[in-house]
Amino acid sequence: MQQCRNHRNQPWRLLAKGLLILLLALSGIHLMGTGSPIPLWYFERLENSRAVQAISEGHLTLADQTELALPKIQRIPAKHPLFQAALVHGVEVDSAGELIGLVPVDRACGNDPILYRRLRINLSHLAGALDPEGIEVSAVTPDAIEFLKEYTIQYGHRRSSHERGHLTFYDLMNVAHVKRQFEDPIDFSQAYRVEGNPQESP
């Protein structure tokens, strides 16, 4: 009787051992490629997030009917899918009056151990990267706006990411250009623009 029971359990034991070996092999492959034995997730959060009920080119309307404009932005890219995606989890109004949203960001390459990221993003910086001409003329110089046009996030350029409402690390670099112009602008009258056009080959 005991021998029959052991015989019946043998296929399950072999299956369990096979699955264990497979998991260890996959873990080893992932470790060699990324430095981590398992895929990782990284989620940032909003403090006191407030739901957004509606978006117009002039302001965001919150669930409590409060209307909030974006600092340094005169025209919000209200219909842009990537801007809308940044509002899914609501917005945070920080101590400086800046509006913060959350965006999913795809990993840069297969060697990145973090499979999924959700990062905080300044909505004024994102809006400026999506539509530089929507930046307030008093916030930066006309030359700066022309410069930022070269780094506009092109929707669909990273099709698989953008169609899911995700940004890429390349998009974050474009957002960083807007942040720099807002916080530490280049004086184009005194400095030669060395960045050039990112679309041109050397």
CA 183 – CA 134 distance, rounded (Å)? 17
Span 22-41, mean pLDDT?
A: 55
DSSP 133: G
User: Which of 8-12, 50-54, 65-69, 129-133 is predicted with the least confidence, judged by mean pLDDT?
Assistant: 8-12
- Helix H or strand E encompassing 114: strand 114-122
User: What is the per-residue pLDDT for 107?
Assistant: 82
User: What is the per-residue pLDDT for 159?
Assistant: 75
pTM for this entry: 0.75
Residue 165: CB atoms within 10 A of its CB come to 15
User: What is the per-residue pLDDT for 41?
Assistant: 82
CA 64 – CA 79 distance, rounded (Å)? 22
Q: Tell me the pLDDT of the chain averaged across its residues.
A: 83
Span 27-35, mean pLDDT?
A: 49
CB contact set of 103 (below 8 Å; sequence gap of 6+): 82, 85, 86, 118, 119, 121, 126, 166, 167
- Helix H or strand E encompassing 99: strand 99-105
In three-state secondary structure terms, 42 is strand
CA 118 – CA 44 distance, rounded (Å)? 6
CA 27 – CA 24 distance, rounded (Å)? 5
Span 139-162, mean pLDDT?
A: 90
**Using CA of residue 116, residue 119, residue 123, residue 128, what is the dihedral sign?**
negative
Q: What pLDDT band is residue 34 in, cutting at 50, 70 and 90?
A: very low
User: What is the per-residue pLDDT for 24?
Assistant: 59
Instruction: Check pLDDT > 90 for residue 45.
Output: yes
